[in-house]
Chain A
Amino acid sequence: MKSFQGKTITSLELKVIIVYGISISLLMLLGLLEHRTVRRLAANDQWVEHSEDVLDSLDKLLAGDVSEESAHAAYLAEGNPANLASWQYAQEGTDRALRRVRKQTADNPAQIRRIDELQKLIQEHRKRHMGESTQGLGNRLPTGWSTRLAFEHVAQADIQNLILQMFQEERGLLAQRHSAASASARRTVVIASIGSILVLVLLLFAIALIHRDFTGRRRAEAGLHRERDLLRALMDNVPDMIYFKNAKRQFTRINRGEEMKLGLDSPEEAIGKTQADFLTPRQASLIAAEEERILKNGEAILANVEPIQFADGQTRWLSVTKIPLKDNSGAITGLVSIARDISRLKEAEEALEKSKEELEARIEERTSMLSRSNEMLKSEIEERRSAEAALVASEEKYRLLFESNPNPMWVYDAESLRFIAVNDAAVQRYGFSKEEFLNMTILEIRPEEDREAVARAAHEASGPGARVGEWRHTKKDGNVIDVEVVTRPVIFNGKNGRLVLANDVTARKQAEAVIRTLNQTLEQRVLERTAQLEAANKELEAFSYSVSHDLRAPLRQVAGFAKLLLEDCSEQLDEKAQHYFQRVIEATDRMSLLTDHLLRLSRVTRQELAKKPTDLNAVLHSAMNDVSDGTGERKIQWEIRSLPVVACDPDLVRQVFTNLLSNALKFTRGRDPAVIQVDHEGEDGQPIIFVKDNGVGFDMKYAARLFTVFQRLHSVEEFEGTGVGLATVDRIIRKHGGEVWAESQPGKGTVFYFTLGPGVVQKREKA
């Protein structure tokens, strides 16, 4: 096939065109030839005619000459002027014929020459005639006429002869031209015949060609039919979805696959419709836009992967190929779409993609791990290298250090445990010579019972760092010494070795043993003391039990019988006896009080602290309730400020407040009003709490005895009391780790300060 101005021309057509072209050219050539022949024939005819005209003119010339001659002769003869006129007229006729001949034979130089000669002859002739006429006029027959006539005849014959020559010339030309024309006509006939035959042959050839082509076409058409059937079968049986559309995007043909995609019962249902009739508007509009582009631009879509929603609602991934269809002129007439369901492939692809991503992530992770460990390895190698370099550099220094070290040092083989090198100090201390050492293993300088443990430890030790251990070594003289051994792995002469530095610590060990013994004794003594204390505590408990039970019983009996004496036997007792018995009863009361207070004190001592965050305000108020009984008519001005929350044992702290408040109440007796202030200083959490009164106060020189049991600063007559209350306060505060102290001025009042935790007072003193 060959493209030619946008058309496709088969070789056959080309052949036929060529044959036709040749035929037409031949025909035209023939026509031209014939036309030329005809024209030539016509020209020949003209020439023949011309020749005949020339001949005719020559005839007339001849005739004119004759008539001129005769007219002149007549004129001469008769002298008649009329004859002169006809002579002149004949002359004019001759001239006219002569001019005509000259004109007609202008192309023939031979004839022109002849004419010129003829004209000259005629002119001479006429001149002679003119002369004769003027002499002889009136004389009918001039003298000498006959001679002049004879001469006349000769001249006349020359002219005529010349004309005759011209006649012959023209006749020869005419015959020549006749024969040329007939030869040309004959040639033309031959050429035309040959050309016609050639054209006929060519036409026959063309017909043969066309016939052959028709046969081929019929065969091709049959083939085409077969192929169309094949295509149809193919279309309906491939799993792909195929449709054809016209320029309006209407289906012109769809296959079974497409039919399923659109959800149709037969392919014919789709004809003339578009996707908009079957698919969702969105899907249809997408397809429409795509196909509009194809129809407009003629660009094909090749294996475009897109998700398509099927009529059944499922979305599948399709690989879509759409190709515009064109007619012979190249105009787009429609399109064909071939789509393949690649959902499986897509899923597989996505799975692959995902696993690829995972793989990549893992590879990345692994890579970063590797690079990290690589970095570490590098730096480790670097370290090792620099360490090695340093080692080499300082090897000499180390050797010196080794040899001259005051402590015994040696290197032994890590495998065989044999000594490889020993320093002088080792030789000196252990008594073995260097040679003896080098023939021994490290086990041989150990007591028999240690050897197994040493061998085990030596083989287990493989770490890079130094190890420190305490061992026993045996000298050559059999003495066993305690040593502190520092072992470090070394490469010695290419062998895996251990560098050992042994430090004799026998003396230290002995000192330690002494200390240990002392410690043990001390512990024993502590245990003993503790047991003693525990026993004392038990005794104290038994004592307080006795106080509460065994001592109270006789006391009660004394009090009871004294009372009975006073009540039942008062008549027998005089006033003095009654007074004494009264004293006995008072003494028993006081003793009862003392035992009660002592018991309370001992209970405080033994009681376990139950510390918890306590609102001191609540504790204070409950203590105030305890002590306000019996204040009766007294005017008391309480100045109570808000107290913080403190970690303490609320029961015991309540006893503190009770004792301090009852003290304050007691010693303000007689004050009007009694002013009792409770407040605190310092931060929450560990404040200093104080109880201040405007009571009698005391001399500060007795302050040290204030908190001792049974110590009293006032007489019983002045202020009752057992001297146990403040001692109890002191015990409770000390149990809390706090401190209690007092500031007082006689007659002005007393302030008791206390804290409930350690460290507060020191801080305060510093401040």
Chain B
Amino acid sequence: MHRNAVDILLVEDNPADEELTLIALRKNKIANAIHVVRDGEEALDFLLCRGPFEGRSPLPPPRLILLDIRLPKIDGLEVLRCIKQNPSTRAIPVVMLTSSKQEEDVVKSYEYGVNSFLQKPVDFDRFCEMVRQAGFYWLLVNEPPPPEAFSPVASC
């Protein structure tokens, strides 16, 4: 595996939530390379290798993106739309991981091409279980897209 390789890109503005998510991942032994970004803009900069991430190799792309909806700067749904519109990123599986179960958000997410939509339960045990199942499925069960599925990086 490449030195810079990232398995999971976690987009989460709240440090408490970030910590709880990381704990849940760790507890489930999904302690692979996890990169955390704090807002939508940073997430897109990272994925498209621009701004602070200029020079970062777009390949290999993250194997999973965990995306919150309420994000500073660029909203999570907008980030999703850009990812799924960009040929260099659209093959990456994106899972919405959010407190909201607002029907409107669910509908929009699927409209933009989300791969999965998960609502974080208040109960921590159930949250851990959910994180375990998602990580297990997307990182182990699911066949990841081959490198040919990604075209060179283009602007959003």
**Which chain A residues have a beta carbon within 8 Å of chain B's beta carbons?**
545, 548-550, 552-557, 559-564, 588-589, 591-592
The smallest C-beta distance from A596 to any residue of chain B, in angstroms, reads 9
The smallest C-beta distance from A230 to any residue of chain B, in angstroms, reads 114
Roughly how many angstroms separate A552 CA and B122 CA in the complex, as a whole number?
7
The smallest C-beta distance from B113 to any residue of chain A, in angstroms, reads 22
One digit per residue, 1 when the CB lies within 8 angstroms of any chain A CB and 0 when it does not, for chain B 42-83 equals 000000000000000000000000000110000000000000
Roughly how many angstroms separate A555 CA and B20 CA in the complex, as a whole number?
13
Contact of A552 among B16, B99, B125 (CB under 8 A): B99
Contacts of B16 in A (CB 8 A): 554, 557, 560-561
Roughly how many angstroms separate A421 CA and B79 CA in the complex, as a whole number?
88
B124 within 8 A of partner (CB): yes
Contacts of A550 in B (CB 8 A): 70, 99
Are A592 and B20 in contact, CB atoms less than 8 angstroms apart?
no
Q: What are 17 inter-chain pairs, A to B, with CB distance below 8 A?
A: A548-B100, A548-B102, A549-B69, A549-B70, A549-B102, A553-B17, A553-B99, A554-B16, A555-B122, A556-B17, A556-B121, A556-B124, A557-B14, A557-B20, A560-B16, A560-B23, A564-B124
Contacts of A560 in B (CB 8 A): 16, 20, 23, 124, 127
A592 and B123 contact, Cβ closer than 8 Å, known pairs A550-B70, A557-B16: yes
The smallest C-beta distance from B140 to any residue of chain A, in angstroms, reads 25
Name A's interface SS: helix
Contacts of A557 in B (CB 8 A): 14, 16-17, 20
Contacts of B70 in A (CB 8 A): 549-550
Roughly how many angstroms separate A389 CA and B100 CA in the complex, as a whole number?
89
Contacts of B125 in A (CB 8 A): 563
Q: List 16 additional contacts besides A557-B14, A560-B23; criterion CB under 8 Å.
A: A545-B102, A548-B99, A549-B98, A549-B102, A550-B70, A552-B99, A553-B14, A555-B122, A556-B20, A556-B122, A557-B16, A559-B122, A560-B20, A562-B124, A563-B125, A589-B123
Roughly how many angstroms separate A563 CA and B23 CA in the complex, as a whole number?
12
Roughly how many angstroms separate A559 CA and B123 CA in the complex, as a whole number?
6
Roughly how many angstroms separate A563 CA and B127 CA in the complex, as a whole number?
11
Q: How large is the interface on B (under 10, 10 to 19, 20 to 34, 35 or more residues)?
A: 10 to 19
Roughly how many angstroms separate A548 CA and B122 CA in the complex, as a whole number?
11
Roughly how many angstroms separate A549 CA and B14 CA in the complex, as a whole number?
13
Are A589 and B101 in contact, CB atoms less than 8 angstroms apart?
no
The smallest C-beta distance from B75 to any residue of chain A, in angstroms, reads 12
Residue of B nearest to A545 (CB): B102
A592 and B102 contact, Cβ closer than 8 Å, known pairs A557-B17, A560-B20, A564-B23: no
Contacts of B84 in A (CB 8 A): none
Contacts of B122 in A (CB 8 A): 552, 555-556, 559, 588-589, 591-592
Residue of B nearest to A566 (CB): B124
Instruction: Identify the 4 closest CB pairs spanning chains A and B, nearest first.
Output: A592-B122, A563-B124, A560-B124, A549-B100
The smallest C-beta distance from A459 to any residue of chain B, in angstroms, reads 65
The smallest C-beta distance from B95 to any residue of chain A, in angstroms, reads 17
Residue of A nearest to B16 (CB): A557
Contact of A548 among B17, B20, B101 (CB under 8 A): B101
B121, B122, B123: which has the most chain A beta carbons within 10 Å?
B122
Contact of B100 among A545, A555, A559 (CB under 8 A): A545
